[in-house]
Amino acid sequence: MIETILKKILPNFSGKKILIVGDIMLDEHIWSKVNRISPEAPVVIADVTRISHVPGGCGNVAANIKALGGTPLLVGLVGNDSSGDKLLVSLNNCGIQTNLIIKTGGRPTILKSRVIAGSQQVVRVDREDKGPLPVNLSEKVLKAALKQIKNADAVIISDYGKGITSEHLCQSMIKAAKQNKIPVLVDPKGTNYSKYKGATIITPNLSEASVASKVKIDDEKTLSKAGNFLLKTLDLQYALITKSENGMSLFAKNGQVINIPGIKREVFDITGAGDTVIATIALSLASGAKIEEACHLSNIAGSVKVTKIATQPVHANELEAALEEKEPTSRKIKTRKEISEIAKRLKSEGARIAFTNGCFDILHLGHVRYLKEAKKLGDVLIVGLNSDRSVKSLKGSTRPYVSGLERAEILASLESVDYVVIFDESRPDNLIRSIGPNVHVKGGDYKISQLPERKLVEQLGGKVVVIPPTKGRSTSNIIDRILGRQQ
């Protein structure tokens, strides 16, 4: 099985240095709720709930390299402006060094603002200067990048068509990479592909490959024609044409063609999927993998990315889980250590974490409705589940009626639940400390001031929200009916 081979590659990602040169940008996510139409015009009104900032462009490539276990060497430009400051902070939050990034007052930071409602982008607003880069700035970027070639295991040129990746820069980087016998990968843009001549591999999508080759791709024959055209005219070793949900096709200089089928996933957002693909290939090649293995692994990584909303990298443990082909419900059940790491990562990505806890013994309609409402209070809902031992201490020796692992799997099968973690204490204080939720949700007729967890949650910067119970729906009522104690 190819998955067995690919699993052996992943541990080798650790410490591999990938030099990334290209257009760095700030991705601003404006999270909102939409439930009405403006009386002024036929447009929706987005009620903003929060705003988050993450690295975009080749900054997202670097974030993927870091998340997969590699070491990104990121070279590029940011403006001497507030967006530039936010971008540098967001890179640092991802653990990416910014000492190779040049700050300039002569060019604004590229900013892409996406308004997101639910799991859908409503609109994107771009602020950028796409004109040619002044020669002095271009030389500074090139000089900084060339200095790092000897430290790198692979080079990625990430071209977003914003002026950084000139023909001179691309050809200089390709020449230097060849001299140092390291692969150079290109994520291309525009129509002038001659600047990528001599690269190891380029990764256009169907539309980009069609434009660059001037071949209308509508079947396997025209796809092959476009792929071979790119190989020959650009003197490439490989051309990888990505085909969205239909997978990807790899064309090799020796005439070999490898078609990698798509992986069926529920697609939420394709933003940044190409960044994930090229980052995975670069790390794979740097780790000694064969090109077909690298592409298979990148195909799986890309399929994981599209299940995530907005610009987010794919992490090594997520890729490992996808390789293991775990059941989706099993993937949601985490240890305390795992959930702590996941919570830390989610916060760095700007996600809002909702947390709730309970026994959830004999799941019923009241539980389901409660968890749906709890999920609405955050982007991610983590459920702390009392272990069998702690349920006994809270509910008595006859409880639970359903074992902890069964209860965990049942909870994990719910769409509203993102993660389940079993805890052994009677109270969730230690788990709350590990997660640090933005919202701690309780179900019942409690007054917030009376809740024992309130002070802890507030000390950690969160808040407590109480959701009233569904009348007449409880585990006790179900048991009473089963035993005939209730008519």
The SS3 call for residue 278 is helix
Cα dist from 196 to 16, 115, 204, 250, 294, whole Å: 24, 34, 12, 17, 20
Name every residue whose Cβ is closer than 8 Å to that of residue 15 and which is 6 or more positions away in sequence: 69, 70, 71
Q: Which residue has the tokens 């990048």?
A: 145
Q: Which residue has the tokens 């892409």?
A: 112
Per annotation, catalytic residue among 27, 269, 275, 379: 275
Q: Is residue 42 a contact partner of residue 120, using CB atoms and an 8 Å limit?
A: no
Buried b (16+ CB within 10 A) or exposed e, 251-274: bbeeeeeeebeeeeeeeebebbbb
Q: Compute the distance between CA of residue 318 and CA of residue 321 in angstroms, rounded to an integer.
A: 5
Roughly what angle, to the nearest 10 degrees, separates helices 58-67 and 273-286? Answer: 50
Q: Is 275 a catalytic residue?
A: yes
Q: Compute the distance between CA of residue 351 and CA of residue 349 in angstroms, rounded to an integer.
A: 6
At 448, list the tokens: 């917030």
For residue 158, which of 185, 187, 129, 130 has the smallest C-alpha distance? 187
Buried b (16+ CB within 10 A) or exposed e, 380-393: bbbbbbbbbebbee
Cα dist from 246 to 220, 242, 260, whole Å: 12, 8, 8
Q: Which strands make up the sheet holding 44-57, listed edge to edge?
A: 44-57, 24-37, 110-117, 120-127
Segment holding 74, helix H or strand E: strand 71-79
Name every residue whose Cβ is closer than 8 Å to that of residue 387 and which is 6 or more positions away in sequence: 404, 422, 423, 424
Sign of CA dihedral 422, 428, 434, 439: positive
Q: Compute the distance between CA of residue 377 and CA of residue 370 in angstroms, rounded to an integer.
A: 11
Q: Is residue 411 a contact partner of residue 383, using CB atoms and an 8 Å limit?
A: yes
> Is the bond preceding residue 468 a cis peptide, omega within 30 degrees?
no
Q: Is residue 385 a contact partner of residue 422, using CB atoms and an 8 Å limit?
A: yes
At 434, list the tokens: 């590990």
For residue 413, which of 478, 314, 328 has the smallest C-alpha distance? 328
Q: Compute the distance between CA of residue 146 and CA of residue 169 in angstroms, rounded to an integer.
A: 10
Point out the residues that are catalytic: 275
